[in-house]
């Protein structure tokens, strides 16, 4: 499972690097990661490394690279 999370973290980083700030729906589409739980696990990995910023806009979560 750790290997999958690390792989997905790479996909999330690449998508945000190319596309900038995104909401979760856009991030799922850009990465082609199907399960929302896998997106959140990957974001947790990157957040722990200090590589993400989060913003709540009108109740919707947006994420971007730090």
Q: What is the DSSP letter of 49?
A: T
**2-65, CATH topology level:** Arc Repressor Mutant, subunit A (1.10.10)
Task: Report the pLDDT value the prediction gives residue 60, as an integer from 0 to 100.
Answer: 97
Per-residue pLDDT of 29-64, as tens digits, reads: 999 999 999 999 999 999 999 999 999 999 999 999
Instruction: Locate the domains of the chain by residue range.
Output: 2-65
Q: pTM to 2 decimals?
A: 0.95
Per-residue pLDDT of 4-37, as tens digits, reads: 999 999 999 999 999 999 999 999 999 999 999 9
SS3 for 11-39 is HHHHHHHHHCCEEHHHHHHHHCCCCHHHH
């Amino acid at each position: 499972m750790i290997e999958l999370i690390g792989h997905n973290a790479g996909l999330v980083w690449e998508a945000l690097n190319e596309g900038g700030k995104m909401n979760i729906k856009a991030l799922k589409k850009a990465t082609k990661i199907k399960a929302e739980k896998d997106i959140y696990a990957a974001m947790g990995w990157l957040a722990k490394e200090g590589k993400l910023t989060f913003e709540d806009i009108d109740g919707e979560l947006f994420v971007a690279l730090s």
